[in-house]
Each structure stands twice: as structure tokens, then as C-alpha cells.
Amino acid sequence: TIKMIKKIACIGAGYVGGPTMSVIAQKNPHIQVTVVDMNEARIEAWNDDDLSKLPIYEPGLDAVVGEARGRNLFFSTDVDRAIDEADMIFISVNTPTKAYGKGKGQAADLKFIELCARQIAAVAKSDKIVVEKSTLPVRTAQALKSILDNTGNGVNFCILSNPEFLAEGTAINDLHHPDRVLIGGEDAAAIQALVDVYASWVPKERILTTNLWSSELSKLVANAFLAQRVSSINSISELCEVTGANVDEVAKAVGQDSRIGPKFLKASVGFGGSCFQKDILNLVYIARSYNLHTVADYWEQVIILNDHQKTRFAERIIRTMYNTVNGKHIAFLGWAFKKDTNDSRESAAIYVADHLLEEEAHIVVYDPKVPAEQIYRDLDALGTRSPADNRRLVSVASDPLSALNDAHAVAILTEWDEFKSYDWREIKQRMKRPAFVFDGRKLLGRAELEALGYQYYAIGE
Ligand code: UDX
Ligand code: UDX
Ligand code: ADP
């Protein structure tokens, strides 16, 4: 029943749906791609004539949107119409960790997915291929299928799993040159229809097809392995600090073993982002639900170590500053969970700040892309203290120098390139003495900073 795809709809215009659909449209001018979202402000921003106002910051995205938008790429709040017209519907809504009830703090909250499924079922009057794009717990496709078949209008739904592997900050390059595209499903014609969409630009040997469950699980496992590498090197960073080894040297020596490989071995203040923690929690939850406690405990350690790394960094700051940061001005360079994105979900900066604020530090944040409202939202969401206290203790600077003026210490939380190019000699003149730098990203060099007279601490040295 499934033929060449002429119209695609994508529900969810976020960090995944927006860039992915923009590239699919760019590379398939013959397919009309409509991205819908119930968030009107977000859709308005996607439609802004000024491409610097797109709702997510991603290098190269503006050019892709500029090329395809209005030609065969559209952003809209009319979800029903997009569903009705499409042959293929991507679901790319958020699946946060559950904040209530059974599985609270671990399981994925599937309420947004279920709402989408019910809406598709209610609206669809012709056969549809429904593609899971969001990362989901294994066997969600089954639930999706059951909702669609039991509440629909008697049309046929084919479910595919097509997890997205792009990383934020490099999304466009990752989409243009993916290591692999993974498509899971049962129906050969539906799989072929989606293979054809990607084959417009992805070499055939990079398009892998599997059964539904393997595809769903592979995405969780890929993220779990990546996060595990970061936690592994971070665990070694603590050992380096007490033994006199240097974690970058160790990472290089270890990574040069071709069986291990050099990537994802950069010690840091801890990983963040919307995926790693959520996906591991998901894996842990699934394992526990099948009574595989040894497996669950194994993966849970990756998160425990990551939390430890963030706490350890905050405690190092306090200890070094004579065991008190009360009333001290600490400049935070960076709030995003990594460079080249305005996303701060699960960013290490949030947790380090929270720890220091418990000690009544005064934090002044500068991030090139994360807006002040978002920084306050992140802190308020923790519920550690009142919103008024967060605003009393934290301010947000619109330029780096005003964050650094009169600071007792600088903490580097995100590896933005621009931080390297600052005039650290001049900054020192503006800071209190002794001038402390706590480098959570190993971004600046010890020799240079110590020569300028800083007290320099970096992870894993
Ligand atoms: C290892 C290191 O590879 C080597 O660099 C070091 O100098 C000594 O320790 P070795 O113990 O000889 O070498 O064998 P290796 O090939 O690493 O295998 C170790 C064990 O892991 C074996 O029992 C092997 O069967 C098992 N293994 C290895 C797996 O079960 N799965 C794998 O994917 C790889
Ligand atoms: C990740 C996966 O890489 C991607 O394939 C998946 O689709 C979504 O999740 P993302 O979260 O965007 O992507 O960023 P990533 O580059 O993986 O970084 C995640 C976190 O790990 C960041 O906080 C980053 O700073 C940290 N990290 C990464 C390290 O601390 N050290 C490293 O060596 C690599
Ligand atoms: P991701 O990183 O997975 O892309 P985001 O939170 O950035 O996550 O984006 C998900 C988007 O999905 C949000 O903009 C949200 O408004 C949208 N969304 C969630 N549920 C629905 C729904 N039922 N209909 C339309 N849009 C939805």
C-alpha cells in the first residue's frame, strides 16, 4: 500500500525535529515537509524572516532553513492538517524522565507520545507510516501500534523506529554525513519508503535496517556507551589528581589503542544534555523491570560517577577558597551543556551552581547563547530554594567582562572557543587576589595561566 513519499509531517519542532526535517527537506526537494508544534512561539521563531532568530542555535542550520523554507519546508501549528495530508509522520516530541508516579526519576514519560498517537489516530483518513524519532524505551512501538489500531478510523498504520544520532552543536554536519542511519520495522515496503528518503544523500551502506526492537535498543545503548566513556575517563581524572598523572596524557595514550579509539575521552566537569542521563535511566529501569539487577547496577554507576564529578568540582572550589564562598563573587563562564548550542538541559553548570548557592556564593553567569530567563528557569526547576533567592544570588551578564569584574574566582563550565581568546592578562587585573581559575573543561593552559599569576585548578591534573 505504501508508495513514494510525497508529503512528510513531523510532530515536534525541537532540537531533533527541527534540524532533521530541515535537512530531509533540503535533500528531497520533491517531498513537502511540514514541521508542526503546539508551541506557537516556537513555530513563529522557525518562521522568522531573520534567520538568526531561529529557536535553536546550531551552526549551519540557518543556511539549510534559508534554502528549503517556503520551497518544500514549512513550519506550522496546524497539527491536524499536517497529519491528514502526510504519507509519513515523524514523532519527534520530548520524552522527559517521569517526574511522578511509578518509575519517577527513571522511566521515560510517554504522555506526549501517547497524545500524538491518539491525535494521529483521530485525524488520519488514509494509510500512514508512523516513524518514532524520539528516543523511547524498548517496545514503545508496540504501545504506539496498539493505540493507533484501536482508536483509529480503520486505516493502516505501519510503525518504524528511526532513532536520531545527531549531537547538538554539530547537528547539521552529523545529518549531512551520518555514521549510519538506523531504520527498524517489520514492513518491508514501509522500510524501503524511508530508506529512499535518506538515500537522497546518505550512501546505501550506511543505512542499516533491523527489527523494531533492535533499533529502539540500539539508540539507548549507543548513548549509554558514549556516556560510559565520559564517566570512565572522569573517574580516572580524580585518580590523576592524587597521583600526579595528567588525565589528557592518559587519555591520549589509552585512546591511541585502535581497539579503544580517541573520541569521547575528554575529562570534564560531567556530561549533560537531554539524552545521556535520560537514556541510561531508561536502560536501568528496563533492566530492573525484568529483574536484571546486576545489569541495572552496572549502568547506574555511570550516572553515580557523573553526579560525583559535578559535586567534586563544586567542593574543590569551596575547599580551595579557604572553605568559604559565602558572599564571594564567582564568575561562571558557560551555562550550556556543551559548546555551540543554546541548550542547557541537564547541564553540569546547573548542579555546580546549586551546590555553591547552598553555600551562599554570588554567581555571575556569562554564556554566549543561553538567555537569562533560561538560566533562572533551570535553577528554579531544581526547587532547592525560592525563585527570589535564585535571583538574589545569581545574576546574568551580557558580556564576559562584566561577569569577571571584581570576581574572586572564575569557573569554566562550557568549552566555548571564545573563552580561550580572552585577554587573561587583563582579566587578572580586574579580579580580586588571589585570582582563582577552576577549569572544568581543561580549556586554558596551566603554564600560561600560572605565568600570569593565577591560582589554576583543572580537572584531572
Ligand atoms: C590483553 C590486552 O588486549 C593486551 O593489550 C594486554 O597487553 C594484555 O591483556 P590478552 O589478555 O592476551 O590481552 O587478550 P585479549 O584479546 O585482550 O582478550 C582478553 C579476554 O577478553 C579474552 O578472554 C577474550 O576472549 C575476551 N574478549 C575480548 C571478549 O570476551 N570479547 C571481546 O570483544 C574481546
Ligand atoms: C548525544 C549523542 O552524542 C548523540 O549521538 C545523541 O543523538 C544525543 O546525545 P549530545 O547530548 O548532543 O549528543 O552531545 P554530546 O557531544 O554527546 O555530549 C554530551 C555531553 O558529554 C556534553 O555535556 C559533553 O560536554 C560531554 N562530553 C562529551 C564530555 O564531557 N567529554 C567527552 O569526551 C565528550
Ligand atoms: P528534542 O530535543 O527531543 O527535540 P524538544 O523539547 O526540543 O525535544 O522538542 C520537542 C517539541 O515537541 C516541543 O517543542 C514541544 O512543544 C513539542 N510537542 C510535544 N508534544 C506535542 C504534541 N502533542 N503536538 C505537537 N507538538 C508537541
Q: Judge if the beta carbon of residue 77 lies within 6 A of ligand 3.
A: no
pLDDT digits (tens, 9 = 90+) for 407-434: 999 999 999 999 999 999 999 999 999 9
Q: Is the peptide bond prior to 434 cis by the omega test (within 30 degrees of 0)?
A: yes
Q: Judge if the beta carbon of residue 91 lies within 6 A of ligand 3.
A: no
According to the model, what pLDDT value does residue 453 have?
Answer: 98
% of the chain with per-residue pLDDT over 90: 93
If one counts every other C-beta atom within 10 angstroms of the C-beta of residue 260, the result is 12
Cβ–Cβ under 8 Å, residues 246 and 439:
no
CA distance 459 to 223: 23
Rounded (10°) CA dihedral 218, 223, 226, 227: -140
**In the chain, helix, strand, coil percent, each to 5?**
45, 15, 40
Choose which residue among 95, 136, 226 to substitute to test ligand 2 binding: the one with the highest number of ligand atoms within 8 A of its C-beta. Answer: 226
Minimal-distance CA residue to ligand 3 atom 19: 93
Q: What is the mean pLDDT of the chain?
A: 96
Q: 109 or 61: whose pLDDT is higher? A: 61
Q: Judge if the beta carbon of residue 422 lies within 6 A of ligand 2.
A: no
According to the model, what pLDDT value does residue 341 have?
Answer: 94
Minimal-distance CA residue to ligand 2 atom 17: 167
Q: Judge if the beta carbon of residue 335 lies within 6 A of ligand 2.
A: no
Which atom of ligand 3 has the smallest separation from the CA of 17? 4
pLDDT digits (tens, 9 = 90+) for 44-55: 999 999 999 999
For residue 358, give the H/E element and its range: helix 348-358
Cα of 298 to ligand 1 centre, how many Å?
20
pLDDT digits (tens, 9 = 90+) for 393-412: 999 999 999 999 999 999 99
Residue with the three cell numbers 545521556: 276
> How many Cα atoms occupy the beta-carbon half-sphere of 334 within 13 Å?
28
Q: Judge if the beta carbon of residue 167 lies within 6 A of ligand 2.
A: yes
Q: Is 338 annotated as a binding residue?
A: yes
CA distance 410 to 239: 24
Please tell me the number of the ligand nearest to residue 335's CA: 2
Q: Judge if the beta carbon of residue 275 lies within 6 A of ligand 2.
A: yes
Minimal-distance CA residue to ligand 2 atom 3: 167
Count of positions (residues) in the chain:
461
For residue 207, give the H/E element and its range: strand 207-210
Q: Is 259 annotated as a binding residue?
A: yes
Cα of 271 to ligand 3 centre, how many Å?
23
Minimal-distance CA residue to ligand 2 atom 14: 167
Instruction: Kindly provide the ipTM of the predicted complex, given to two decimals.
Output: 0.94
Cα of 230 to ligand 1 centre, how many Å?
22
pLDDT digits (tens, 9 = 90+) for 295-330: 999 999 999 999 999 999 999 999 999 999 999 999
pLDDT-derived band of residue 84, with 50, 70 and 90 as boundaries? very high
Cα of 115 to ligand 3 centre, how many Å?
11
Cα of 94 to ligand 3 centre, how many Å?
5
Please tell me the number of the ligand nearest to residue 109's CA: 3
Q: Judge if the beta carbon of residue 409 lies within 6 A of ligand 3.
A: no
Q: Judge if the beta carbon of residue 341 lies within 6 A of ligand 3.
A: no
pTM, two decimal places = 0.95
CA distance 352 to 269: 9
Domains and CATH numbers, the chain: 7-210 (3.40.50.720), 304-458 (3.40.50.720)
Residue 461 pLDDT greater than 70, yes or no: yes
Rounded (10°) CA dihedral 130, 132, 137, 142: 10
Catalytic amino acids? 275
Cβ–Cβ under 8 Å, residues 330 and 317:
yes
Amino acid found at 71:
R
